[in-house]
Structure 1
Amino acid sequence: MEEEEEEVAYSLSVPAILITIFALFVSLHFITSLFTRKLGGNRAKNAGRIQKTAPKAGGSWPLLGHLHILGGLVPRHLVLAKMADIYGPIFTIWLGVRRAVVVSTWDIAKECLTTNERAFATRPRLVCSEVMTYNYAMIGLSPYGPYWRQVRKIATLELLSNHRIELLKHIRESEVLSSVRDIYENYH
């Protein structure tokens, strides 16, 4: 009888402990995010610079950001176009916990990708990217820097040169032909 009472008391206390730990983590996250934002704002004021930021799109959820808006039945490009009508040609959205800049005019996109390409060329340094790509060894996920520039140069000269493309033309043609044949056989 006493063992059953102990098991019942133990089983009732475990969810309470888990809820308490979860609430503690959420509150610590909230406090640290407020603290870091406050420090970041003071740093900008102390530097004497006025930092211009793009308008922030409303409607984001904590941890999810704007993913609930982009995940509906309406195509994403139409959702972003509607948001551009509301917030202007350049604005920021949250994709999960990462902030992303959305540019919707050709002029601003050209300025971002040509004039200011170094500011937009890098990728976020994530632990999963570092582990999966063997310390950022893959060009697709490596951050902008000397290694990325060197690998891009090698890829451009060795893989994408006109001579190499002509040498591999027959392989591309055979792959396209076999893909079209597979599609025809599967759906006809």
Structure 2
Amino acid sequence: MESLLSFTAAIFACIFALLIFLCHYSLQAPHVAKRMPPEAAGAWPIIGHLHLLSGSQLPQQTLGSLADIYGPVFTLKFGVHRALVVSDWKMAKECLTTNDEVFASRPKSVASELMGYNYAMFGLSPYGPYWGQVRKIATLEFLSSRRVEMLAPIRVAEVKASIGDIYKCWVKNKDGSNMAKMEMKQWFGTLSLNIAVKPLVGSDIRTQRDKGTDFQRP
């Protein structure tokens, strides 16, 4: 009997706490809604507004059309996440200069943690002292004007080697009219990847392929 009374009292206590929470939320919700920017209409379940960016228009054109309807500041839902869209230069300046510490970070995720070696890659790590230190090292040691100029021979050599690949493909696959088809999308992708990877590891896809090493593109 005592256990039944205790259980009933616990249920009533939970219901009372839930009612207090609902009353508090209902009182606070109008004030929060006034501070929130408007949300674009047309969100679908689960994916939100992602379908709006998959049309024939470019994403910036779609966002510009939405800004004409909802104003310079509005929100979109991408799945469970809400994104703030700012199309006014004064507000963008506030976000990127005055309040840059608030907008400089990025949300943590399991994918970033696993692929970024526990956020060791500064491109995936959240804003903080580590991010600032690694970004400074990368800017000074790899992206400075002097460093870019030192790596110019690598870019020139990769372009020449890629043009040589085009010639080899033409010699191998040319038809009776001395013409050959080539997938240029893959050619540009390989060229860009080689230019980015060779300064870091001292090798490229072409060298690994000639050696017979299994070096696949990601």
State the TM-score, normalizing by the size of structure 1: 0.67
Gaps of 5+ in 1: 1-34
Gaps of 5+ in 2: 1-17, 171-181, 185-218
Relative contact order (alpha carbons < 8 A, sep ≥ 6): 1 or 2 greater?
A: 1
The reply to whether residue 70 of structure 1 matches residue 45 of structure 2 is no
Work out the CA distance in 2 between the residues paired with 1:49 and 1:72: 33
In structure 1, what is the equivalent of residue 128 of structure 2? 145
Q: Deviations over 1:53-83 (max 9, x none)?
A: 2221111112111011111222222111110
How far the C-alpha of 1:161 sits from its partner, in A, is: 1.9
Distance 1:159 1:144 in 2: 20
Return the offset for 1:180: 6.3
Whether 1:55 and 2:38 are equivalent positions in the alignment is: yes
Correspondences of 1:1-188 after superposition (within 5 Å): 42=25, 45=28, 52-178=35-161, 186=182
Taking a change above 3 Å as real, the CA distance of residues 91 and 182 of structure 1, as seen in their structure-2 partners, is farther
Q: Cα 1:168–1:53, aligned 2, differ >3 Å: closer, same or farther?
A: same
Please give the alpha-carbon distance, in whole angstroms, between the structure 2 residues aligned to 1:178 and 1:143.
38
The verdict on how the C-alpha distance between 1:156 and 1:82 changes in structure 2, with shifts beyond 3 A counting, is same
Moved over 4 A (4+): 48-51, 176-185
Aligned to 2:198: none
SS of 1:137's equivalent? Answer: coil
Aligned length: 148
Measure the CA separation in 2 of the matches of 1:63 and 1:113. Answer: 30
Whose Rg is larger?
2
TM-superposed deviation, 1:124: 0.8
User: What are the Cα deviations for residues 146-175 of structure 1, in whole angstroms up to 9, with x where unaligned?
Assistant: 111111111111112222122112222333
SS in 2 for 1:166: helix
TM-score by length of 2: 0.58
